[in-house]
A and B are shown apart, each in its own frame.
Chain A
Amino acid sequence: VFKGDSDRIVITGIGVVASNGLGKQQVWQAIGQGRSGIKPVSLFDTSVFKSKKAAEITDFDPAQILGRKGLRLLDRTTKLSLSATKYALEDARLEIADENSRRTGVVLASTMGSVESRAGFYLDLLGEGFVGVNPALFPNTVVNSPASEIGIYFRVRGLNTTVSNGFTGALDALQYAANMIRWKRIDTALVGGVEALNPFVYSAFEKLGLLSRITTTSKEAIAPFDRHRNGTVLGEGAVMFVLESLDAATRRNAPVYAELAAGKTLFDSRSYLRYPARGTVLRRAIEHVLGETHLEPDSVDFVSTSANGVKIADAVESRILFSILGRPGKRPLVTASKSLFGETFSASGGFQIAYGLFGFEKNLVPPTLNCEQADTGCPVECAGRLPASVGRAPEASRIENVLVTSVSPMGYSSAVLLKSMRG
């Protein structure tokens, strides 16, 4: 199928607010140095929990990024979203004005985005009764409020969609936005994912046995593909991208990071509320994006995985990757952004994409931390295990194709293919 430049969707801006840096420059530096944002939680008391750490954003001052005005009633999720969007617009050198406002859309992934506000509202109701709740905080209880506030703050009038799909959310939002551009519903999308840290989600993750904690053999960390990995560490953050057609990017002479060449998310009820033992739909999603882009498995330079340190999660993802991309004696080269950014749930796909963009820009495979003793059950080559440990040069002279994969216990699995726009 011939794809014209108006059908090719490219990323022209990125805005990141993460536990290890605010804005692309800081975050790129953290990635380059292999610096994780995981630290003891300060936002809430962890004494009732066995786990104590999170990838928390401790130095976040939204007023410094956005100015003081209009922030008073906004919740943390929304302030993270607005900040990341501001960074992304600046990075893409894009201004939303009357001419393009109606042709620009916001697509945001969030699943737990309203949890803290909804919980707070309900707690006030239980504690103070009806007269005790603040009506001005009521709008924060709906999950589409961060995206809507982006629309209001930056005057984006085209469309405004929130996607709640859990772990694969940001990758789904990107596909939704790319589709909407391809189908000419909008020309430009501000798209990404956000989740904020709070004790409610933290407790839920711990209850489900997903969180890492100190044991005799393990520290509390995300140790992807490592023999002693024992769970994940929750994180928070927002990643926003500017997405447009190659045509539009060329017309406005915008810098292009990468092409979003293909994407697929599939649901399988056999992997619902449990990690998929066989990874069937992840396989199908990967095969779909490789087929769509006519790429041989060997052309994938590295995989930006969703590995989060959960025993079965990393095993399933690496086995599927090996079966498609590997061969005897050659394990696929992978990396795991969550070892730096924590498990940011609906935002995590955004960090995985950011890893891809870093790879293209620096021509380095970004690092995986804490993968010290490779698990034989995870047949992948992990970038972080090399002596340099903070990224490595690819085997090919230039990184051209990055596969992004996500496997989850919520039924959905995703694959997205990013292509370099060099040359």
Chain B
Amino acid sequence: MDRRVVVTGLGAVSSIGIGKEEFWRNLLAGKSGITPICSFDTSEYRVKIGGEIPGFSITEFLPEERSEKYGRASGLGISASLLALEDAHLRLAQIQQHPVEASSGASAGVFVGSTMGECQEQAIFMRGWVSGSYQDIQTSTILKLPDSFLACNIMDALKIGSLGSTFPNACAAANYAIAYGYELIRSGQVPVVLAGGCDAFSEVAFAGFGRMLSLATDKCQPFDKNRSGIVVGEGAGMLVLESLGHAEKRGARIYAELLGYGMSCDAYHMTIPHVDGVTAVMENALHNTGLSPEEISFISAHGTGTVMNDKTESEAIRNVFGERAQQIPVNAVKSMLGHTMGAASALSAIGCVLSIYDSKIPPTINYETPDEQCPVDCVPNKMREQPVEVAMNNAFAFGGNNCTTVFAKLRAKR
């Protein structure tokens, strides 16, 4: 059986759309999902905007009696997972946990990345702590708290998955999850994987980035000379990954091939990116996939909109691609979605996969003034129709934890 890894299902829950169609349509249209924050009181804050999904409720996907035990982050992840499976036309029965008598072979894996875990439930817990009503804290609240529950909750809600893990690798977490899913399919440990990330809107992240003076006050402007920071967001993205053999056997629609990934660690600073580590992660991705820099047709940037990130990322792209750097379209979907933390690299991965499948590249919106420190073609403000053969999906996290995934058009031979 062919163990090349392909993407056959996409589930997006985002501030610009729930479900693949709406998400993609609005991504191409350059729609912004940034609105005034309503999940907590912002009167004390200088910044008032975020990328929340105000209309989201898990009960639209799972009845209340089955979903009330999950926190918001899990709810986002479960919903994205259901959407991804539906999109893949994969019936749950096909990948449900193996019956007792089966061998130790696993039927499916679920790998999820997150930055802040169940932050909104943790906030409820802490408020109970502060008010001295410790005794009143419900065990049902406690059972929502651990970060490890994100992958577990998806497996529990969908009754799928016998291999699983939660990777809390901050803002690159979903790429870590996708990378490990890739490895387990490639090595024959499991034929189907749900991989991606989820994060709920976090006041701790909002306040933390705010105090670091990393927040934009009105819009996120990656690669723009006047960019002033990130906009905190929330969301979930899940991808169905399958071995090519498994996908072909069931006649699945194949969006793209997942060629592999690269990882690196800056080993430099918790919050300041370093160009060496960022260069290394793209080089490692090229090395692992056996691609030359010339073969990359599109880069989905980490592109947070902070002064440091976009400058460092542009410099690293120049290091890796040399003179060709300015000819490669490099977009930043965070300009529309805000920074969805653990979900960010999953939502951008979905963007990469659809760019390949649909031959269209979403824009970087809010781009007004070129910056000589960011000499990239960021697909400013308007989407582009253009075939994409190979797409690189960058993600860099706190701690210099970097992971880049690489997607390509499925070819008979590569």
B143 to chain A, nearest CB (A): 6
For A288, the closest partner residue in chain B by CB is B104
* Among B45, B115, B207, B209, residue most surrounded by chain A Cβ atoms (within 10 Å): B207
Residue of B106, B143, B165, B288 ringed by the most chain A CB atoms within 10 A: B165
- A186 to B, closest residue via Cβ: B263
Indicate if B211 sits at the interface (CB-CB under 8 A). Answer: yes
| Residue contact B156 to A147, C-beta cutoff 8 Å | no
Contact: B180 with A157, CB < 8 Å?
A: no
Minimum Cβ distance to chain A for residue B132 (Å): 10
Which residue of chain A is the closest to B46 with respect to CB atoms?
Answer: A130
Q: Is the CB of B204 within 8 A of A144?
A: no
B350 CB to closest chain A CB (Å) equals 22
Task: Select the stretch in B2-10, B52-60, B384-392, B394-402 that faces chain A.
Answer: B394-402
Binary contact track A170-205/B, C-beta < 8 Å → 1, others 0:
001000100100010100000000000000100110
A145 touches B398 (CB 8 A): yes
Asked if A144 and B208 sit within 8 Å, CB to CB, the answer is no
Which of A25-33, A159-167, A217-225, A251-259 has 4 or more CB atoms under 8 Å from chain B?
A159-167
Knowing A111-B146, A164-B167, A207-B137 are in contact, say whether A135-B211 is a contact too (CB < 8 A): yes
Contact A144-B97, Cβ < 8 Å, known A266-B106, A268-B162: no
Q: Does A151 contact B (CB under 8 A)?
A: yes
Chain B residues with CB under 8 Å of A280's CB are 100
Name B210's contact: one of A121, A123, A130, A164 (CB within 8 Å).
A130
A102-B280, A160-B401, A269-B97 known; A130 and B44 CB under 8 Å? yes
Q: Are B168 and A411 in contact (CB under 8 A)?
A: no
A71 vs chain B, min Cβ distance (A): 14
- Is the CB of A368 closer than 8 A to any CB of chain B? no
Interface residue count on the B side (C-beta < 8 Å): 76
Give the total number of A-B pairs whose CB atoms are below 8 A apart: 223
Smallest Cβ distance from A20 to chain B, in angstroms? 26
Please report the total number of A residues contacting B with Cβ < 8 Å.
75
Alpha-carbon gap, A280 to B162, bound state (A):
12
Among A101, A118, A164, A176, max chain B CB count under 10 A is at A164
Q: B267 touching A119 by the CB < 8 A rule?
A: no
Complex CA gap A183/B260 in Å reads 13
**A133 contacts the other chain (Cβ, under 8 Å)?**
yes
B176 at interface by CB-CB < 8 Å: yes
State whether the Cβ of A169 lies closer than 8 Å to any Cβ in chain B.
Answer: yes
The distance from the CB of A300 to the nearest CB of chain B, in whole angstroms, is: 17
> Which of A144, A149, A284 touches B170 (beta carbons < 8 Å)?
A144
Residues of B near A130 (CB, < 8 A) are 44-45, 207, 210-211
Name the distance in Å between A347's Cβ and chain B's nearest Cβ.
13
- Inter-subunit contact A142/B115 (CB<8 Å): yes
Q: A106-B265, A144-B398, A266-B162 are in contact. List 15 more A-B contacts (CB 8 A).
A: A118-B116, A121-B204, A123-B126, A130-B45, A139-B271, A145-B270, A161-B263, A176-B180, A267-B97, A267-B162, A269-B97, A269-B155, A272-B156, A280-B100, A281-B162
A–B complex contacts, Cβ < 8 Å, 21 sampled? A112-B146, A122-B204, A130-B44, A133-B208, A138-B204, A138-B208, A142-B398, A144-B399, A148-B398, A151-B401, A154-B267, A155-B267, A157-B265, A164-B167, A165-B148, A204-B142, A267-B152, A267-B155, A267-B161, A273-B156, A410-B152
The 4 A-B pairs at the shortest CB distance, nearest first, are namely A148-B399, A138-B208, A288-B104, A143-B168
